[in-house]
């Protein structure tokens, strides 16, 4: 197992190199540059800025500078490899690292709670729906699931604000920091995924409870509760675990809309504005970071897999 | 002495989209202490459903037990509440199934799966249950039982898994073991080993066995009595010798004829029974075997014969209007 994990981590390197190349290429392929303004800057100033940030260098050199393989214009190795993601062109007083430090934890927190809601609601709903197939609870859970899948969070957010903040006054309209402020955004973000999980859990559970080994468990005289919890759940959860990795990454990166609606100072907002500003270091740093999250999340899922299903063996 | 298990008029149906499937139609039989009863019949004739109904293990819905009694230790199992029937399952009456590849939970170890019954029914501690599990694995001749107890089902071969199933079923010393085609999914040499194992365990533990199969060959060497099922009915029942030497139901005759015999002097042609079993949704008024029967008389079309004693043979019963020993077969 340890050897498998090491191998998997090693195999991430080419993936991340590839992603860094593509991000770099795409960021620079977008027409326009960071210092293009509606009222153009004087050519001299622009040239100075370009020189200062190394944008006058050949592209390959800009790339290796960013990665940290070559000395940047200030004569240091200060790139991704040194965990330095460079300066931000638009908020000049801060480096990309500063921005990450300030805003990433907010998005991560939002994503984490959304995932908790997704799993905490989706799994039980799916199980109830499967166990009480074609009953009120089944239809109820699946109605919630269909609602959750079909209503995007850009609609859900304002609905929540309207009902729970403005009408009922249970939660503050917007902002971030107190637990009460986290509730609505986390639900707005997580409901979609919880619906997805509920449907997957239901399908998987329905299949598992028809398996022969469930009949064997019942034939042993086990109580229905034990049959479900001990014999069915773990098996039913295996396919659900598969989507948790990409889902977490999606929740983390998909926070933009929700952050906008609820005025949350997270990473998503910065990411989008940095694209329109051609703030290359922020764009590339964020993309690369999310790529790392995704690969790691998938590795964790694969390890969980081996834990859930003893038939899976990693050599 | 009263029989250990008395089944009376057991009737089970399934509500399906196409209609009501009459899977078991008034099945009655006795099982005596220490006896092995064979149940044979073609696929779909209700062998599994009738036995699952005894322990109320058929899926409800779509299944429903609509009639009959199952008397065991003075109580009707069909009237017990969920808690009480669970105390019977796996404890007094245990069951093993056809496919050992799918009947064990892939994510739990063999040890976990065997000991949970011990902890439940015999109130053993974890450690006691573990020790007993190892003993049970030795009892069914699984080598290196101490270490294999921690293995998962996929680490065992099909035959070994069926041994595990048997160990699990016998863990609480049941009075009755119901074996639903436990050898069908195994290859021939393994089949023989499993049958030998069951015979050995029967000698040591003395439980009564209901052995379901569609292989008359296996049942010949194992059962004391055999009952033949067709379309949810029992059509013939006799002790094993009488059934083979003196079959009375045309269906039994057909089954025996389709069985290859090693002792046959001439190479007789095997004749499978022609035709298909009836649709269990629209059962005929008369004998369900009528369309395939080569002894049929007009009466069979209107009245379904009940199981009745065969003259001069103790315990031999048949459900047929015709005495097949007295009549010529109609050749098509
Ligand atoms: N869940 C179910 N829903 C509908 N019909 C069912 C269900 N289970 C069994 N049946 C029907 O009940 C009848 C008897 O089935 P059963 O499983 O008892 O046959 P069997 O004699 O055990 O056959 P086999 O040798 O194939 O195991 C079959 O015709 C089958 O179609
Ligand atoms: Mg069967």
Q: Which of B59, B107, B120 sits opposite A222 (nearest CB)?
A: B120
Contact (Cβ atoms closer than 8 angstroms) between residue B167 and residue B114: yes
**Cβ(B276) to ligand 1 under 6 A?**
no
**Cβ(B111) to ligand 1 under 6 A?**
no
- For residues B159 and B167, what is the distance between their CA atoms, to the nearest angstrom? 12
Ligand nearest to the CA of residue B281, numbered in listed order: 1
Ligand nearest to the CA of residue B95, numbered in listed order: 2
Crossing angle between the packed helical segments A96-131 and A136-150, to the nearest 10 degrees: 150
Q: Which of B12, B13, B20, B21 to mutate to test the pocket of ligand 1 (most atoms within 8 A of CB)?
A: B21
Shortest Cα distance, chain A CAs vs residue B198, angstroms: 19
- For residues A292 and A130, what is the distance between their CA atoms, to the nearest angstrom? 36
Q: Which of B41, B45, B95 to mutate to test the pocket of ligand 1 (most atoms within 8 A of CB)?
A: B45
Shortest Cα distance, chain B CAs vs residue A217, angstroms: 8
Burial of residue A203 (number of CB atoms within 10 Å: 0-12, 13-18, 19+) = middle
Beta-strand ranges (E) seen in chain A are none
Shortest Cα distance, chain A CAs vs residue B83, angstroms: 8
- Ligand 1 centroid – CA B45 distance (Å): 7
B90-113 pLDDT, tens digit each: 899 999 998 888 999 999 999 999
Q: What angle (nearest 5°) sits at the alpha carbon of residue A91, between those of residues A88 and A94? A: 65
Give me the interface pTM, i.e. the ipTM: 0.87
Cβ contacts of residue B181 below 8 Å, gap of 6+?
B47, B48, B97, B98, B212, B213, B214
Mutate: best of A132, A221, A222, A233, partner B, most B CBs <10 A? A221
Does the structure show a pLDDT above 70 at B260? no
Does the structure show a pLDDT above 70 at B268? no
Does the structure show a pLDDT above 70 at B182? yes
What predicted TM-score, i.e. pTM, was given to this entire model? 0.80
Contact (Cβ atoms closer than 8 angstroms) between residue B315 and residue B300: no
pLDDT of residue B270: 63
Question: Considering only residues 219 to 238 of chain A, which have any Cβ-Cβ distance to chain B shorter than 8 Å?
Answer: 219-224, 226, 230-231, 234-235
pLDDT in tens, chain A (315 residues): 788 888 888 888 898 889 889 988 888 887 777 777 777 778 888 888 888 777 888 888 888 888 888 887 777 888 888 888 888 877 778 888 888 888 888 888 888 899 999 999 999 989 988 888 788 888 888 888 888 888 888 888 888 888 887 888 888 877 787 887 888 888 888 888 889 899 999 999 999 998 999 999 999 999 989 999 999 998 998 888 888 877 887 777 667 888 888 888 888 878 888 888 888 888 888 888 888 888 888 888 888 888 888 887 776
- Ligand 2 centroid – CA B307 distance (Å): 23
Distance between terminal CA atoms of chain B?
A: 48
Q: What angle (nearest 5°) sits at the alpha carbon of residue B69, between those of residues B63 and B73? A: 120
CATH topology (fold) of A96-308: MetI-like fold (1.10.3720)
Q: What angle (nearest 5°) sits at the alpha carbon of residue B116, between those of residues B151 and B38? A: 90
- For residues A1 and B1, what is the distance between their CA atoms, to the nearest angstrom? 61
Where are chain A's structural domains?
A: 2-82, 96-308
A94-136 pLDDT, tens digit each: 888 888 888 888 888 888 899 999 999 999 989 988 888 788 8
pLDDT of residue B51: 94
Q: Report residue A246 CA to chain centroid gap.
A: 7
Count of beta carbons in the 10 Å neighbourhood of residue A45: 11
What is the full DSSP assignment across A141-172?
HHHHHHHHHHS-HHHHHHHHIIIIIIIS--S-
The rounded mean pLDDT for chain B is: 87
Does the structure show a pLDDT above 60 at B264? no
């Amino acid at each position: 197992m340890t050897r498998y994990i090491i191998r998997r981590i090693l195999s991430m390197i080419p993936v991340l190199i590839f992603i860094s190349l593509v991000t770099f290429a795409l960021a620079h392929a977008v027409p326009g540059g960071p210092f293009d303004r509606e009222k153009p800057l004087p050519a001299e100033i622009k040239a100075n800025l370009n020189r200062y940030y190394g944008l006058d260098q050949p592209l390959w050199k800009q790339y290796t500078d960013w990665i940290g393989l070559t000395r940047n214009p200030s004569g240091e190795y200060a790139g991704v490899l040194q965990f330095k993601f460079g300066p931000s062109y638009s908020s000049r007083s801060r480096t990309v690292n500063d921005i990450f430090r300030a805003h990433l934890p907010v998005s991560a927190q939002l994503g984490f709670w959304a995932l908790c809601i997704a799993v905490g609601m989706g799994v039980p709903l799916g199980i109830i729906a499967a166990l009480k197939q074609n009953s009120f609870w089944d239809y109820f859970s699946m109605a919630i699931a269909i609602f959750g899948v079909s209503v995007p969070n850009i609609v859900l957010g304002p609905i929540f604000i309207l009902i729970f903040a403005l009408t009922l006054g249970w939660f503050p309209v917007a902002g971030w920091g107190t637990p009460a402020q986290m509730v609505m955004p986390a639900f707005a973000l997580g409901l979609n995924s919880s619906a997805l999980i509920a449907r997957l859990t239901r399908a998987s559970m329905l299949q598992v409870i028809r398996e022969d080994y469930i009949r064997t468990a019942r034939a042993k005289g086990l109580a229905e509760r034990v049959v479900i919890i001990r014999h069915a759940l773990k098996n039913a959860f295996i396919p659900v675990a598969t989507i948790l990795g990409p889902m977490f990454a999606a929740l983390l990166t998909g926070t933009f809309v929700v952050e906008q609606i609820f005025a949350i100072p997270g990473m998503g907002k910065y990411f989008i504005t940095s694209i329109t500003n051609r703030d290359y270091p922020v764009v590339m740093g964020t993309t690369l970071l999310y790529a790392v999250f995704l690969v790691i999340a998938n590795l964790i899922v694969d390890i969980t897999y081996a834990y859930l299903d003893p038939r899976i063996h990693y050599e | 002495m009263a029989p250990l298990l008395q089944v009376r008029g057991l009737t089970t149906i399934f509500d399906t989209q196409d209609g009501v499937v009459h899977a078991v139609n008034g099945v009655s039989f006795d099982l005596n202490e220490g006896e092995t009863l064979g149940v044979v019949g073609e696929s779909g004739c209700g062998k599994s459903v009738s036995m699952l109904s005894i322990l109320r293990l058929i899926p409800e819905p779509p299944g429903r037990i609509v009639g009959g009694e199952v008397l065991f230790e003075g109580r009707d199992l069909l009237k017990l509440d969920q808690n009480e029937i669970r105390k019977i399952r796996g404890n007094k009456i245990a069951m093993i199934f056809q496919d050992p590849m799918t009947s064990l939970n892939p994510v739990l170890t063999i040890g976990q799966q065997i000991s949970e019954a011990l902890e439940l029914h015999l109130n053993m501690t974890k450690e006691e249950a573990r020790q007993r599990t190892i003993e049970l694995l030795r009892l069914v001749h699984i080598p290196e039982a101490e270490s294999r107890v921690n293995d998962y089902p996929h680490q065992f071969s099909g035959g070994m898994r069926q041994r595990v199933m048997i160990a699990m079923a016998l863990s609480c010393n049941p009075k009755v073991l119901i074996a639903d085609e436990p050898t069908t999914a195994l290859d021939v040499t393994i089949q023989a080993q499993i049958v030998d194992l069951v015979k050995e365990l029967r000698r040591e533990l003395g439980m009564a066995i209901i052995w379901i199969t569609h292989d008359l060959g296996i049942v010949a060497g194992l059962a004391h009595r055999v009952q033949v099922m067709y379309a949810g009915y029992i059509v013939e029942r006799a002790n094993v010798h009488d059934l083979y030497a003196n079959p009375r139901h045309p269906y039994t005759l057909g089954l025996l004829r389709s069985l290859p015999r090693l002792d046959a002097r001439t190479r007789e042609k095997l004749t499978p029974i022609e035709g298909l079993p009836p649709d269990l949704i629209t059962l005929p008024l008369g004998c369900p075997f009528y369309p395939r029967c080569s002894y049929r008389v007009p009466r069979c079309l209107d009245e379904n014969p009940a199981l009745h004693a065969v003259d001069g043979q103790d315990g031999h019963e048949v459900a047929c209007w015709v005495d097949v020993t007295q009549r010529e077969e109609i050749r098509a």
